Structure 1
Amino acid sequence: MYKDIRLHGALENKIEYYAIAAGVDAHKRYFFNVDQSSESELRFFSTNNEFIISQQGIIHRGNGGSFCEYMFGVDQPLTDMAKGDVINRLVMYGTHLDQKAGALNFSDRTDGFLTFDKIFFDGNAVANYFFFIHSKDFSESVKEQQELILRRLGKILKRSVAIGNGDDNRIIAEVSANCGVDDLQLFLFKLINTRHEEYRNAFKNLYFRTKRIADEEFALLTELAQRNEIDRYQQERIRIDVMYKHPDNRRIVDEYRNILCSCNLRGEINRLENARLTRLKTLSVRNKIPGALFYTLDELLRKDRKLVELEESDYISETRQILEGLFFGERQIESRVDRDDMLKLLHAKKRASEHRNHTFEELLLDASKACDENIRDGADISLLEEFSYIITYLDRYDTTSQVINQLAFMENIRISEDMLRSILGNKKEFDTLQPNLFNTLFIDGVLDNKYLGNYGRRKLITLVKGMEEIEAGSMKSQEVLDQLKAIDREEQIFVILLQHVRERIRNFYSKFSTKNDQQILKREVTEELLGKKLIKGEINNDLFNETILTIQKEAIYLHNLLPQIISEKDISLREDFLDNSGLDRFYVEELELEYFELNDLPLDELYQIRKGLN
């Protein structure tokens, strides 16, 4: 039995197409023809419907529309973003949104032309679908046809995972099951930008391997993008979408998005939600989740300007005053940025980062634009020099902060000699502004962070002490780097050991408390890790004992303390255990989440027991 007829081809501009006619007697229809003069156009048709694929784009007439999977970070309606199950963009021909009434208006004017550039710019960068439907049961009015199609298919088309997966058979089945007509004939067209697809697949293969892109790998991606003539905007949105879809990233980013959507719809952020957002951002650093994913959401959800404007913070007010003061020179007012001003700006940037307040960067951007305009209009060059002085210090701040935070909170991060030299140079500049400013800006706060793990703390202390020794001339850079590498290697072995010992205890050992059990366990784990070439020699006894102790502490918390903490909402007991046990808070919170999900407990109770969230 015939179900559908498919035509597959490619255009000269690297656009691949699939045209499918499916439904009742589809195999008996003559539904397409080719421009005989140049073969540059391919026309598909049914009664009152037409879809033409040319070398420049597509022409459509009749009913139907287009749909594609939303790419992460695109400007989409808040109503779609707030619904977790809405994952696709649907556009019906001849419709427009009445902003005042909040309703979709239909018309009989559904014909149009779209270039391929616009299709892959407005829609998905890789794959987009178009369709029209034929049925004798349809009204003659195209407007009424569109209303009927949207009413019956809108929900499934905006939620179907088949679209993102490119599963044409399932799309056809879902449309057929929901359209509600016996003589349905569906004409489905899938357009794929093979250049974008190649770039996406290359980036995905590299990123999913380690969640990092090395410099040499990024150079290869850049070369691929140039060869395929992919502009920077498309490269960026493809990369962000791929990073979002990594399973480790998606869960955290989705929760962040859901909180922001809820706040946006309600018009305010309360203390509980703000603390949860901050926690998720902190967790993202540990999990190597790119900050771009969060910045994208922040920008999208702040466009609506629905969030309650809070009273301006003192550090933002000071920043505004200093930056606006740059332009007093036009009125013969002394406006140099002095040492005290620079200290205020650096501390303001630190506080803005801690509070996720983008106003600081917006003020800086506004000042940059104003500076350019003033210089263009003939202002004194000293204005540019003053602004460059500010930017230089803020760039030093960004560079140093990134390295310090990665070293403290991320595994397998190594500092090169060039990076160490850069940090030393920045430290000298900061400490020249004010003694011990470097530690105040970058070290003290991180050391006080409860999420800082044992190895992160050791690496940070080693770095600070090492830089002091280098400045004093009693140690060389390479010695400091060697110390950091040794800690990093020990951390890698500990993480591997912890993972394998946990797994082996879970599967083979119900008890591991006696020395004899532990020696057997150590021998078997050593053999396994040597066989997998994850270690090169014997496991250090102290490291193995620390691993066993860590697992024992986790078991005590999960089976004894956590149930009591939940039932009594005893936040102090939880904090006391975490402060004194030395366990990694990130991992403990993952255990807590698994416990709540396994026991089907409401997550609100989990947020309540976490300090600062009640």
Structure 2
Amino acid sequence: MFRDIRLHGYANDQIEFYAITAGSEAYNRYFFNTDPTDPGEIRFFSPGNEFIIGKNGISHRGNGGSFCEYMFGVDQPIADLAKEDVSNRLIIYGTHYDNRSGTLRFSERTEGYVSYDKIFFDGNAIFNYFFALTGVDFSAPMPEQQERILRVLGKALKRSGAVGEEQDNLIIREILDIIDDPNAHLFLFKLINVRHREYSEAFKALYFNNKKITDSEFQSLAVLAERYGIDRYQQERIRIDVMYKHPDNRRIVDEYKNILIACNRKGEINKLENARLTRLKTLSVRNKIPGALFYTLDEMLKKDKKLVDLEESNYISETRTILEGMFLSERQIESTIDAEDMLKLLYAKKQAAENRDHAFEEMLLDASKACDEKIRDGADISILEGYSYIITYFDRYDATSSAINQLAFMENVRISEEMIRSLLGNKHAFDMLAPDLFTKLFLSGIFEDKYLGIYGRKKVSHLAAGLKLIEENRLTTTGLLDQLVNIDSDERLHLTLLAHIKDRIRNFYSKYATKGDQDALKKELAEELKNKRLIDGEIPDHLFREAILTIKKEAVYIHNLLPQIILEKNWALREDFLENSGLDRFYVEELEREFFELNGLDLEELYQIRKGFN
């Protein structure tokens, strides 16, 4: 059993540290000292090793290295990204990769200095570990020591869950157990950026509450970041890492990542894989998963990958032409963005969003930078006015698209008069560009989406009709709000009924075949829901009948049709049921997933049946 001595302190008002020496004779070792002439520096030492914690960074000499948990979205070697069990970044002092031989080279020179800024920029933004070892096996020439450390500890350190959980005792035990030398001693140093940690914990507390950050909450985070001087890059990587670690997000994002890794290795994305990626993106909207998580993976893994058998579009080149044209005014050429240009850009934005093509957003960013630089250098202000005109419409597009998608694909959406008034204003602005542009951009396509459920369709249909009636002064915003809230209430009650009826059938053997059975079940259910304060009055007949019908259809599909579909790989039979049953595709796909998992079937077969690749 190891013993350890720990020293806790602060290098400065931002960096906290823990220094630990662990081994069988740790109590007999004196392992640090300070320089009276420089109280801001503390030196740790062991035979052949030295580690100095200063005010602005650390110095090291000897064997060992550093490790930390990978943050989601940071650049990782594909080899690490592809292995689900690899969660940590490992650096061994004095090593470099030899491109010619494809191997690691170990150097005599392992000493160095690293600033805290670089440590928390290159590594984990919150905490990072450094280590060194002494013992019989660590007295050889330095390259041999480092190679042995990597060979013996590398696999374990890159996979240890104790690192991400900051379980220092477990990390020490794992390392010393693997070394298996009673005379070996481990020197472990943990550096913590307390400002980054406070920002991370504040964001996590807000985000994990309901997977949403309000404007006022985001402002409080911005104030915290400004007070601590946390730059935007660090803020973003901390937020993305926290969002990824939410359990509801992680499963879908990991599946998306695994598909992209497979595509990356092949260098191409085929029809099936692209369809699955699209499906996961659709699911992410329903589950309120931020698009930033997928964008990060796309940037790392999807860039430059060939889309096999997908049509090439001209919208990117057309967008580039219009954006480049903004700067022709510098050469006294009239190049204002007119309504026709704006229409092309809006349709291009719509197509880019549907294709998940980030080249479009990158072009906008490049244009923004170029605009800023030219204005700074004295260019005509009309350039900025033209770009602002584009961004104003794009902001309207994003706000409208987000609101309508939430209504269409998400449950329990907060609907307000403010949202309706915003949509009304945006509709007016789009329709001023071209007649019925609002409908063409946001409504026509959504009604063709196979994943649009019954209640989502009702909400969007009522919204479209209601906005038109408001414009004609035949309906008020309050009236439309009441309609949408009622549909949303029906949806919530429908889901509640569905869950409770299935629970009663499963656990209380309740019957629902005859009208008498259904009346008895409805009475029992009403009493239960009232006791749970889920309803105030009686259960509406139409919602109860709808729930019973859904369960009957579910039973037919699971027990009769799905086994036949799997056996025959009959994609057409599945599509026929989905189109004629009236059941939501999301709901049916969840039933299918549960069926496959319950029966130990290969999910890959399910994906192929869904997309008709039999």
> TM-score scaled by structure 2?
0.93
Alignment partner, residue 132 of structure 2: 132
Q: Give how far 1:612 is off.
A: 5.1
SS at match of 2:268: coil
Residue identity matched to 2:199: Y
Asked if 2 retains the 8 angstrom alpha-carbon contact of 1:16 and 1:194, the reply is yes
Q: How do 1:139-178 and structure 2 match up within 5 A?
A: 139-178=139-178
Alignment partner, residue 484 of structure 1: 484
Is 1:507 the equivalent of 2:501? Answer: no
Deviations 1:139-158 (A, max 9, x none): 43111111110011111111
SS at match of 2:138: coil
Alignment partner, residue 278 of structure 2: 278
Asked if 1 retains the 8 angstrom alpha-carbon contact of 2:162 and 2:168, the reply is yes
Q: How do 1:392-431 and structure 2 match up within 5 A?
A: 392-431=392-431
The range that moved more, 20-29 or 71-80, is 20-29
SS at match of 1:50: strand
Which whole-Å CA distance do the structure 1 matches of 2:415 and 2:597 have between them? 38
Unmatched 5+ stretches in structure 2: none
Alignment partner, residue 222 of structure 1: 222
Q: Give how far 1:330 is off.
A: 4.6
Deviations 1:232-259 (A, max 9, x none): 3222212111111111111110111111
Which whole-Å CA distance do the structure 2 matches of 1:3 and 1:560 have between them? 63
Q: 1:201 to 1:383 in 2, by over 3 A?
A: closer
Residue identity matched to 1:581: S
Q: Give how far 1:113 is off.
A: 2.0
Which whole-Å CA distance do the structure 2 matches of 1:371 and 1:224 have between them? 30
Residue identity matched to 1:603: L
Residue identity matched to 2:23: G
Alignment partner, residue 92 of structure 1: 92
> How many residue pairs are counted as aligned between the two chains?
613
Identity value in percent: 66
Q: 1:423 to 1:576 in 2, by over 3 A?
A: same
Asked if 2 retains the 8 angstrom alpha-carbon contact of 1:271 and 1:613, the reply is no
Q: 1:316 to 1:227 in 2, by over 3 A?
A: closer
Which whole-Å CA distance do the structure 2 matches of 1:381 and 1:226 have between them? 30
Which whole-Å CA distance do the structure 1 matches of 2:255 and 2:447 have between them? 27
Residue identity matched to 1:290: P
The range that moved more, 308-317 or 194-203, is 308-317
Q: 1:533 to 1:58 in 2, by over 3 A?
A: farther
Q: Give how far 1:169 is off.
A: 2.4
Deviations 1:571-609 (A, max 9, x none): 111111111222221232222222222222222211111
SS at match of 1:18: strand
Asked if 1 retains the 8 angstrom alpha-carbon contact of 2:407 and 2:456, the reply is yes
Asked if 1 retains the 8 angstrom alpha-carbon contact of 2:86 and 2:159, the reply is yes
Which whole-Å CA distance do the structure 2 matches of 1:225 and 1:538 have between them? 51
Q: 1:19 to 1:383 in 2, by over 3 A?
A: closer
Q: Give how far 1:181 is off.
A: 3.9
Is 1:56 the equivalent of 2:56? Answer: yes
Q: How do 1:134-533 and structure 2 match up within 5 A?
A: 134-302=134-302, 305=304, 307=306, 312-331=312-331, 333-509=333-509, 511-533=511-533
Deviations 1:528-584 (A, max 9, x none): 433333333332232122222222222222222111111100111111111122222
Deviations 1:90-135 (A, max 9, x none): 1111122334544322212111222222222221122211111111
Which whole-Å CA distance do the structure 1 matches of 2:363 and 2:225 have between them? 33
Alignment partner, residue 25 of structure 2: 25
SS at match of 1:537: coil
Which whole-Å CA distance do the structure 2 matches of 1:244 and 1:590 have between them? 22
Which whole-Å CA distance do the structure 1 matches of 2:395 and 2:157 have between them? 46
Deviations 1:172-209 (A, max 9, x none): 22222323545321111222223322322232233223
Q: 1:81 to 1:323 in 2, by over 3 A?
A: same
Q: Give how far 1:366 is off.
A: 2.8
Asked if 2 retains the 8 angstrom alpha-carbon contact of 1:275 and 1:612, the reply is no
Which whole-Å CA distance do the structure 1 matches of 2:386 and 2:12 have between them? 52
Alignment partner, residue 544 of structure 1: 544
Q: 1:487 to 1:3 in 2, by over 3 A?
A: same
Which whole-Å CA distance do the structure 1 matches of 2:128 and 2:154 have between them? 16
Which whole-Å CA distance do the structure 1 matches of 2:430 and 2:305 have between them? 39
Asked if 1 retains the 8 angstrom alpha-carbon contact of 2:510 and 2:521, the reply is no
Deviations 1:271-306 (A, max 9, x none): 111111111101100011010101111122256x46
RMSD: 2.4
Which whole-Å CA distance do the structure 1 matches of 2:486 and 2:441 have between them? 26
Which whole-Å CA distance do the structure 1 matches of 2:375 and 2:126 have between them? 42
Q: 1:557 to 1:35 in 2, by over 3 A?
A: farther
Q: Give how far 1:417 is off.
A: 2.5
Q: Give how far 1:17 is off.
A: 2.4
Which whole-Å CA distance do the structure 1 matches of 2:415 and 2:520 have between them? 37
Asked if 2 retains the 8 angstrom alpha-carbon contact of 1:267 and 1:308, the reply is no
Asked if 1 retains the 8 angstrom alpha-carbon contact of 2:511 and 2:518, the reply is no
Unmatched 5+ stretches in structure 1: none
Q: 1:417 to 1:129 in 2, by over 3 A?
A: same
Which whole-Å CA distance do the structure 1 matches of 2:212 and 2:185 have between them? 46
Q: Give how far 1:373 is off.
A: 4.0
SS at match of 2:43: strand
Deviations 1:197-230 (A, max 9, x none): 2322232233223222233333333344344443
Residue identity matched to 1:455: Y
Asked if 2 retains the 8 angstrom alpha-carbon contact of 1:263 and 1:307, the reply is no
Q: 1:53 to 1:496 in 2, by over 3 A?
A: farther
Which whole-Å CA distance do the structure 2 matches of 1:308 and 1:566 have between them? 29
SS at match of 1:71: coil
SS at match of 1:288: coil
Asked if 1 retains the 8 angstrom alpha-carbon contact of 2:72 and 2:244, the reply is yes
The range that moved more, 400-409 or 50-59, is 50-59
The range that moved more, 217-226 or 170-179, is 217-226
Q: 1:569 to 1:306 in 2, by over 3 A?
A: closer
Q: 1:58 to 1:606 in 2, by over 3 A?
A: same
Which whole-Å CA distance do the structure 2 matches of 1:120 and 1:499 have between them? 47
Residue identity matched to 1:176: L
Q: 1:44 to 1:443 in 2, by over 3 A?
A: same
Q: 1:197 to 1:329 in 2, by over 3 A?
A: closer
Q: 1:369 to 1:230 in 2, by over 3 A?
A: closer
Q: 1:308 to 1:499 in 2, by over 3 A?
A: closer
Asked if 2 retains the 8 angstrom alpha-carbon contact of 1:2 and 1:27, the reply is no
SS at match of 2:75: coil
Q: 1:537 to 1:202 in 2, by over 3 A?
A: farther
Runs of 4+ in 1 over 6 A off after TM superposition: 308-311
